[in-house]
Chain A
Amino acid sequence: MLEIQAACKTFHARTPGEVRALQNVDFMLEESSFVIVIGTNGSGKSTLLNAVAGTFFLDSGTIRLAGQDVTAWPEYRRAKMIGRVFQNPFSGTAPNMSIAENLALAARRGRKRSLGWALRSSFFTSLRDRVRSLNMGLEDRLSNTIGTLSGGQRQALTLLMATLVKPGLLLLDEHTAALDPRSADQVIQISQDVISKERITTLMVTHSMHQAVNLGDRLIMMHRGKIIYDFRGAEKRRMRVDDLLARFREVRRKDQLDESAVEMLRRNYI
């Protein structure tokens, strides 16, 4: 479904603040798989997601989606195949418009928008059932503006919007990080339901080790712009929170080793 080859991206190139966010990343994602991405801060996991979504263009490398080379496609063109939920609950919905209008906008993701009515009454009724499935009591408030909703409700709605038209690929970028634990659980539950029910190919970035071990059928770990671990199948199922934490400690120790080695060389030779 998704094929990334030799992807490189450097932010603030040739300045002291240079960040090599993606370093020669190769990555293949099979149809209907659900991949969790974890990593240290600044490891490039969100960059990976944004590169796929087309928020920016790669410095080098290619991205193929459903067999098509989309490397040079702008974000809005890739959106035909991609559903997204952002970390910030304010990013995924239009706050001054009603719930129904937001869903109507999502119903035409990647399609031409012309002079047909956005909210036909038949569409409005069909929405009610989809919204009811969120179990948030929003189905009777379809005409209310998004601005009146809580963060959890917004994320649940954004998730519904991202999957209203089944996406070829669903990108979840730490979509529960800004929520309180209860709402986070609720949103994770909804995510899991819709992904497994519709067999949506998913790439999900998370900070939560708990989510990382419990969700998905594959787990990749990133560090300094590279994919350093890739667990699948039985290996992924065996993973526990402690195992992951051990891997993180290992990474950190290697880092420190590198730094102390550099320090030693500097002292001895400069």
Chain B
Amino acid sequence: MTLLIGALTIGLILSLLALGVLISFRIFSFPDITPEGSITLGASIAAILLTNGVNPILATGAGFAGGMVSGAVTGILHTRFKINGLLAGILVMTALYSVNLHVMGKSNVPLLSETTLVNYSEQAVEKILPGAVSLTVLGWEISLRDASTLISTMLLILLSGWILFLFFRTNLGTAMRATGDNQQMMRALGVNVNQMIVLGLALSNGLIGLAGALLAQYQGFADVQMGIGMVVLGLAAVILGEALVGTDRLGLTIAGTVIGSILFRLLVAIALRWGLNPNDLKLITAIFVFAALILPQALKKIRRKSHA
């Protein structure tokens, strides 16, 4: 049960990562690799601020801001200096590795006794249910800490997804989506397309930095290596979400991405339970994304052949 709760919570936290990837890869069709560094940046900023006794909400917000800055840098490299998008991301990601080491001062910052958002949520639930140590759900006993973390993460993700949905329906958000759809048209309608791309990548990596900040607090440490493979992980969630709900409606796409992230995490937890070697995890994730990318075309081909 703890395993299940853990998978759910991490899946929810990483759905912010998936939403970020949704913005760069799907809305802007921009292959942004920055997340490999920006999620770690969000985590390291939050961790180092927390060890210095900063309020957890502020520290988490700072993680978001750090992610935004790194996304904006990638965007500026691409639009202002005309560097290929993939390369711009790689440059920023590589630079961020050193930046992250500098932020943390070492390669790993543990969060042991610091007050984090996890403590906050625990206190909040304790206020509502005074004296409880554990909850019983469907005959399973869950520690209060796990339950409160899960519930508050869920609320936070619902709120973030809802805000993102609302944002994409404003004039600015609509223009941002349309920029990904047809740049020529947006220039003709008076939109500074470059500015839109920078803003979009900032938003995308801001969400990813937020995911990093939350992840560090949940798992109790920030590590300079934690960003490896994150883009593919986010992409896997996005693809899974699209398979579940399609891509027609904005609200559904956002909800699908969150669900995709949770589902993917659950699948991973089950696979690990069945004895999958954890070392193979990234290989399997990559193969999953590869399969998801080629499957639609392969199916079409097979269908055409069977028709002929």
Chain A residues in the interface with B (C-beta under 8 A) = 53, 74-77, 79-80, 82, 84, 86, 90-97, 101-102, 104-106, 108-111, 113-119, 145, 161-162
Interface size, chain B (Cβ < 8 Å): 23
- Taking a contact as CB atoms under 8 Å apart, the answer to whether B171 and A108 are in contact is yes
The one of A80, A93, A102, A116 in contact with B190, judged by C-beta atoms closer than 8 angstroms, is A80
Number of A-B contacts (CB under 8 A): 90
Main secondary structure of the interface of B (DSSP, over half): helix
Question: Chain A residue with minimal CB distance to B191?
Answer: A76
Query: Which of chain A's residues have a CB closer than 8 A to the CB of B172?
Result: 113-115
Query: Which of chain A's residues have a CB closer than 8 A to the CB of B185?
Result: 91-94
Query: Which of chain B's residues have a CB closer than 8 A to the CB of A86?
Result: 184, 188
Inter-chain CA distance A111–B193, complex, in Å, is 14
- Taking a contact as CB atoms under 8 Å apart, the answer to whether B171 and A97 are in contact is no
Interface: B175 (CB within 8 A) = yes
Query: Which of chain B's residues have a CB closer than 8 A to the CB of A115?
Result: 167, 170-172
- Taking a contact as CB atoms under 8 Å apart, the answer to whether A79 and B171 are in contact is no
Interface: B134 (CB within 8 A) = no
Inter-chain CA distance A104–B170, complex, in Å, is 10
Query: Which of chain B's residues have a CB closer than 8 A to the CB of A75?
Result: 187-188
Interface: B182 (CB within 8 A) = yes
- Taking a contact as CB atoms under 8 Å apart, the answer to whether B182 and A76 are in contact is no
- Taking a contact as CB atoms under 8 Å apart, the answer to whether B178 and A94 are in contact is yes
Q: Can you report 24 A-B residue pairs in the complex whose CB atoms are below 8 A from each other?
A: A53-B188, A76-B186, A76-B187, A76-B190, A79-B190, A79-B191, A86-B188, A93-B182, A94-B178, A95-B181, A104-B174, A105-B175, A110-B189, A113-B171, A113-B172, A113-B174, A113-B191, A114-B170, A114-B171, A115-B167, A115-B172, A118-B169, A118-B171, A118-B173
The one of A91, A104, A108, A111 in contact with B182, judged by C-beta atoms closer than 8 angstroms, is A91
Task: With both chains docked as a complex, state the minimum distance between the C-beta of A191 and any C-beta of chain B, in angstroms.
Answer: 17
Inter-chain CA distance A162–B172, complex, in Å, is 19
Name the residue in A53, A96, A119 with the highest tally of chain B Cβ atoms < 10 Å from its Cβ. A96
The one of B171, B182, B187, B189 in contact with A95, judged by C-beta atoms closer than 8 angstroms, is B182
